[in-house]
Amino acid sequence: MSKRELLNPTNAALILIDHQPQMAFGVQSIDRQTLKNNAVGLAKAAKIFNVPTIYTSVETESFSGYIWPELLAVNPGAKPVERTSMNSWEDAKLVDAVKSTGRKKLIIAALWTEVCLTFPALEAMEEGFEVYIVTDASGGTTQEAHDMSIQRMIQAGAVPVTWQQVLLEFQRDWAHKDTYNAVMDLVREHSGAYGMGVDYAYTMVHKAAQRTLG
């Protein structure tokens, strides 16, 4: 398997690390509401394509708080791997969960970039996994902390991606009608200007009925 091979729903797994309130409080590299939007969009993208998704949290009740409910709601049956270690790759339960997917391409987003993303990314690559770091669904305590950590991971072999890139890499061909409508719904909800453009095209070009919410 090569990093030049595109991500697809059968070769990748998603790991979401420490998207918890206390961790988000410290994020300064990205607007927090944008961060939540992107992380939830990423989780929904994986669900549309049945990509295995692993949640993990650190010191939930003693420090960090519960994983954002909007994120857990995407996979309500999921049981997050609870840890004490800052480095999730040092937790055997997490590593076992990853290996049980049988996937070698790991898509990872985490708080914070400089710790909870960098540490497992480096360790996973050392064990032969290919790591794709979702830069806009992760956040650091400063912009410099985020940027330098991303550079460090890239230098070690990680591939930087964004959440919407992952979504569209999974879809790839609009002829794939079994996922088309779900992808368009996700874009309209989470993709900002792109989603607004889709709404415009549906209603003004294709004459679809006005969409209502609620």
Which DSSP string do the residues of 61-102 spell out, in sequence order?
Answer: IIII-PPPHHHHTTSTT---EEES-SSGGG-HHHHHHHHHTT
Q: Which pLDDT belongs to residue 211?
A: 62
Question: Looking at the structure, do residues 92 and 193 belong to the same domain, yes or no?
Answer: no
Question: Looking at the structure, do residues 90 and 195 belong to the same domain, yes or no?
Answer: no
Alpha helices in 87-156 (DSSP H): 92-100, 118-126, 143-156
In a domain, 6, yes or no: no
Between CA 180 and CA 29 the distance in angstroms is: 32
Question: Looking at the structure, do residues 143 and 60 belong to the same domain, yes or no?
Answer: yes
Question: Looking at the structure, do residues 182 and 89 belong to the same domain, yes or no?
Answer: no
Domain containing 40 equals: 12-169
Question: Looking at the structure, do residues 131 and 53 belong to the same domain, yes or no?
Answer: yes
Question: Looking at the structure, do residues 154 and 192 belong to the same domain, yes or no?
Answer: no
Residue 22 pLDDT > 70: yes
Note the pLDDT tens digit of each residue in 85-121: 999 999 999 999 999 999 999 999 999 999 999 999 9
Question: Looking at the structure, do residues 114 and 139 belong to the same domain, yes or no?
Answer: yes
% the chain with pLDDT above 90: 91
In a domain, 1, yes or no: no
Determine which one of 116, 121, 150, 167 is catalytic. 116
In a domain, 5, yes or no: no
Residue 1 pLDDT > 70: no
Residues in contact with 108: Cβ distance below 8 Å, sequence separation at least 6, in sequence order: 14, 15, 17, 117, 120, 121, 124, 131, 132, 133, 134
CATH number at residue 133: 3.40.50.850
**The pTM is what?**
0.95
Note the pLDDT tens digit of each residue in 151-185: 999 999 999 999 999 999 999 999 999 999 999 99
Q: Is the dihedral of CA 188, 45, 161, 184 positive or negative?
A: negative
Annotated catalytic residue 90? no
